Structure formats: C-alpha cells, structure tokens
Amino acid sequence: MRAGEMAEAYPVVGLDTSALVAARFIARDRLPGIVVTEADGSPKAVLAASQVVRFMVPDYVQDDPTLAGVLGDVPAARIADRLRQVKVAELLPEKPAELAVLHADDTIVEVAATMARLRSPLCAVVDHDRILGVITASRLLDLVCGEQFG
C-alpha cells in the first residue's frame, strides 16, 4: 500500500479563508487539523485544530490562562464571531511548522517516518504539486493495525 491509496479527500483552505469556515471543516470531519494551500493550490501549512482553539480565547487570557475562570460563561455565538472576523492566515504561527508532504508512491514506512519526524497529526499527499488527499495519524494506524486484522 502506498500513500496515494491511503489518502482521504478532505477540504483544504486558503490563507484568505475565514477562520470560521476552517473551524467548521475541522469540526465536521473531526480532523486533527486542516491543510492550508497557497493561491496556486500547492500545500503550504497544516493548521492544527488546537491553533484554531487558541483563537477562541481572548488575547489577554492566552497570556494569563488563570483569567479564563473569571470570564464566566461566554456565549458560543460570541466566540464564533471572533473566528468569523479573521482569516486562516492570522491563525497560523509566524513560523508555521513544516508541512508534512508525501508523494503518492511513498511507502507505509516513509509515511510513518515523515509523520513521526514532524510530530504531525496529518500530512498531505501530492502528485506533482496537486493534492491527492490527506492521511491522518489515526488513519495510518487503522490501515496498518486496525481491528480488521483481528
């Protein structure tokens, strides 16, 4: 089995995509993150789910998490509004983690080695710069040693 066969089709987002749209893709597919592409469609970065979660929290609470407790119950709609107002580009760290990019003919061990080296929960599989799909760490574990193998 090679990376091209292991890849699953998931939506990707651009730097200009609304953070709320990215959050909803991650939520709907219960993904650990989502692939961010350049304007030409080539993969640029992984936006981890926890990076989106980070933006749900006001800046001053990010700096001092003990303040989260005194805020009380913030309506979910107000948090969603925060995400609606920013783009994916603003959620990425200044130096985004190296994107795990695999090629369609990479072997299981190559997929695992890349994912492990980058400690990435997901990687993009490309064929000549075109994204074929995504492999999550849990998908890889399922394909290699899932319950179907008894």
The least CB distance from residue 28 to a copy of itself, in Å, is 6
Residue 127: in which H helix or E strand, if any?
A: strand 122-127
If phi > 0 it is left, if psi is from -120 to 50 it is alpha, else beta; for residue 79 that is alpha
The correct pick among 85, 117, 129, 130 for binding a copy of itself (CB under 8 A) is 117
Nearer to a copy of itself, 40 or 94 (CB): 94
Q: How many CA atoms, within 13 angstroms, populate the side-chain half-sphere of residue 125?
A: 23
Residue 73's contacts (CB-CB under 8 Å, 6 or more residues apart) are none
Taking residues 9 to 48 in sequence order and writing x for each that binds a copy of itself by CB under 8 A, - otherwise, the string is -----------x--xx-xxxxxxx---------------x
The least CB distance from residue 3 to a copy of itself, in Å, is 12
Q: How far is the C-alpha of 45 from the C-alpha of 127, rounded, in Å? A: 17
143 near a copy of itself (CB under 8 A): yes
The piece of 9-17, 36-44, 107-115, 125-133 that touches a copy of itself (CB under 8 A) is: 107-115
Contact criterion met (CB below 8 Å) for 85 and 20: no
Hunting for tokens 């290699």 — which residue is that? 144
Question: Would you tell me which residues interact with a copy of itself (CB under 8 A)?
Answer: 1, 20, 23-24, 26-32, 48-50, 52-54, 56-58, 61-62, 65, 68-69, 71-74, 76-77, 79-80, 83, 107-110, 112-117, 119-121, 136-147, 149
